[in-house]
Structure 1
Amino acid sequence: MPRDLPEQIHQQRRDLGERIRVLRSGARKTQEAFAEMTGIDRRTLQRIERGTSDPRFSDLLLIARALEMTVSDLVQE
């Protein structure tokens, strides 16, 4: 179900994915280990980190919990 989104939205999604990747790496977790910690499928996590997928709010909650932060802190610009 493709959507025509403004480029700004695509960029923000990529920025969020990069932030998640950096925080995960800083926590010394591989994608596989992080996926296991969060219960999010590894392929889904890869798409989120690449910014090619819109994460569900529940995914953001799981990611933030695993990183010991709030969703607000996770998505801050």
Structure 2
Amino acid sequence: MPSASPPPDWVLARRRAVGDRIRAVRLNANLTQEAVALAAGVDRPSVVRIEQGQQSPTLDTLIRLADAIGVPLADLVR
């Protein structure tokens, strides 16, 4: 089975942009990474990696993060 090739640079840039939006919305809501992780049912290191663009969250995780922060999903991914 061939190994997956890394995503192209433009995908990584968009992933970082989504992470930046998640961080900005979280900070605007005055929430810590720990509080969001707990409310979303994920671990804090995952929130850190998502915000830094190092991890691609699943759609389910994005929905949970949006709910934990109290914003529509579209606010995180536009």
Question: TM class, shorter-chain normalised?
Answer: 0.7 to 0.9
Query: Which structure's CA Rg is the greater one?
Result: 2
- What root-mean-square deviation, in Å, do the aligned CA atoms of Structure 1 and Structure 2 show? 1.5
Q: Which residue of 2 aligns with 1:49?
A: 51
Match 1:64 to one of 59, 63, 66: 66
5+ long unaligned stretches in structure 2: none
Give, in angstroms, the shift of residue 38 of structure 1: 1.1
Using the size of structure 1 for normalisation, the TM-score is 0.88
Whole-Å Cα distance in 1 between the matches of residues 75 and 32 of structure 2? 21
Aligned length: 76
Q: Which residue of 2 aligns with 1:9?
A: 11
Using the size of structure 2 for normalisation, the TM-score is 0.87
Give, in angstroms, the shift of residue 2 of structure 1: 5.7
5+ long unaligned stretches in structure 1: none
